Chain A
Amino acid sequence: MTNNPHISVQHLNVQIGNQEILKDITINIPNKKVISIIGPSGCGKTTLLKSFNRLLDDTADVKITGKVLVDGENIYDPKAEVTHIRKKMGLLSQRPYPLPMSIYDNVAYGPRLHGKPKKTELDELVETQLKATGLWNEVKDRLHAPATRLSIGQQQRLCLARGLAVEPEIILGDESTSALDPVSTSIIEDLFIKLKEKYTIVLVTHILRQARRVSDYIIFVYMGRIIEFGPTEELLLNPKEELTKEYVKGYIS
């Protein structure tokens, strides 16, 4: 494992209402790797992911204790600037949610929030990010068409391009391929593998084969606790914990 973790979670507890969703989570997420969070439905894996960019803040009756350090900075520090934290991370949700505007404006949205880029700079940036997600050739003639005209798979790649346009360091994927067909899924998976050269990627998935295909490390979460964390092959083929063994074999789900 690496010496300087990109995200370091220390004794994180998340409680919503009377329910403890995450209990005493401590983990170091290595830099520029793909990490999959696996676990049965309702185990808290999405909550864990959303705690990384403070998207839990708006949840009713939420209580969060502990620390999440990103680049050594505690994002739950009251003085931390929440927009600055979120800018560091691109989020790819379960279904693509393009913003209600054109393809071009979707990618340009983030850069426009954080500065006043010139038209030529924006054009260049939009092209770069659409190329990075393999969408450029498919949309270059209709950049100003509504984003909703794209297929679901294209929309998801657009959302990825939109996230990359704010120059994040981390990509968070919340079951990002669950609404997609097999072809689109494999395009997105290949993108993740390509993008880890530049980004740290954290994915929530319930598909073990996907975790195996794309990730370097796997975190297994069960009932709000981290049961096991390790390199992909090791965790899937040689799990140390009994619970992991049962989950991987499909006894618990």
Chain B
Amino acid sequence: MIRRKIEENFFRVLMVLATVIVAGSFFLIVGTIFYKGVPFMNLDMITKIPGGGFYIGKEGGVLNAIVGSLYVAGGATILGLAISIPVAIFINMYLDGKNFIANSLRIAFDVLFGIPSIVYGAFGFLIMVYFGIKASLLGGIVAVTLLVIPILVRTLDEVIITVPKELRDASLSLGATRWEMSKVVLRQIRPGIFTAVLLSFGRAIGDVASVLFTAGFSDNIPTSLHQPAATLPLAIFFQLGSPVEEVQGRAYASALILTIVVLIITVLSSLLSKRFSKNKIQ
């Protein structure tokens, strides 16, 4: 009896400790960003493009990078969804009974999931060279889309698998075609789609390596797909590399902005997800 009690307590302490470490690191990271970033935060940071000197200047703000990041991450997520939803539906709804092909596809996407983003950046760069596209918003969106497709496909896949077979049968036995049945399934997984979007957007907005060669960098807000675009992670990267202390501080302020953007997106998507789950069957 005593041995079982010790075991129980031992693992309880272990779990609490692990949770404290994780939660502690989170607060440490956010705290550091706040501590270092807040002194350099001002309205100019989020309302102005950089002034005085190329991206490492002390004046102006990082509006170009904020807008660029939203463009790149938003564009890539929308484009990625347009490609991933059909793929996930195809794997689950049209390939059933053909498990070998479906599982091979899943493994392929798992491998793509694990590929470092610099590889997507390099691949995107090659595509751009081939088509003669210069480093631009379009190039960045294409490279980041490649990066998020595996995330989207696998997340949607996992969500679709949880849809009960009986729900599909119910729709089919009313005389629905496969596509009509798939629409019912898509309704059912709407909250899951928002989760997928959130994961994809988070990864897209934070990635440096994929946009390093493809999106270019600019002090201006891009007004067309063919203009180069700055992103927040790249701005942070360049600002941190500056020997000037003030510019380094601006990097933390930029990091703070990036964190807040991600926070807003997270809250927004979880609100939307709740809103759309009222019809979901359990």
Contact = CB atoms under 8 A, between A and B. Distances in A.
A157 interface: no
13 contacts: A60-B99, A61-B97, A83-B177, A86-B173, A87-B175, A89-B173, A90-B173, A94-B166, A97-B166, A97-B169, A98-B281, A146-B278, A148-B282
A227 interface: no
Interface of A: 53, 55, 57-62, 83-84, 86-87, 89-91, 93-95, 97-102, 109-110, 113-114, 146-148, 159, 162-163, 166, 172
B96 interface: yes
A68 to B, nearest CB: 15
Contacts of B98: 60
B167 A113 contact: no
A245 B71 CA distance: 73
Interface of B: 96-99, 164, 166-167, 169-177, 180, 184, 187-188, 278-282
A84 B175 contact: yes
A183 to B, nearest CB: 22
Nearest to A50: B169
A55 B172 contact: yes
B269 to A, nearest CB: 19
Nearest to A90: B173
A235 to B, nearest CB: 28
Contacts of B96: 58, 60
A87 B174 contact: yes
A213 to B, nearest CB: 25
Contact of A100 (B97, B174, B176, B188): B188
A129 to B, nearest CB: 12
Contacts of B99: 60
Given A58-B96, A97-B166, A100-B187, A166 B174 contact: yes
Contacts of A166: 174-175
B180 A113 contact: yes
B175 A113 contact: yes
Contacts of A172: 173
A86 B175 contact: yes
B166 A93 contact: yes
Contacts of A101: 187, 279
Contacts of A148: 279-282
Contacts of B171: 99, 109
A158 B169 CA distance: 16
Contacts of A83: 175-177
A53 B176 CA distance: 12
A97 B167 contact: yes
Contact of B174 (A84, A86, A147): A86
Contacts of B97: 57-62
B170 A114 contact: no
A58 B187 CA distance: 21
A100 B279 contact: yes
Contacts of A93: 166, 169-170
A95 B166 CA distance: 9
B282 A99 contact: no
Smallest CB-CB A-B distances: 3 pairs: A87-B175, A91-B173, A110-B174
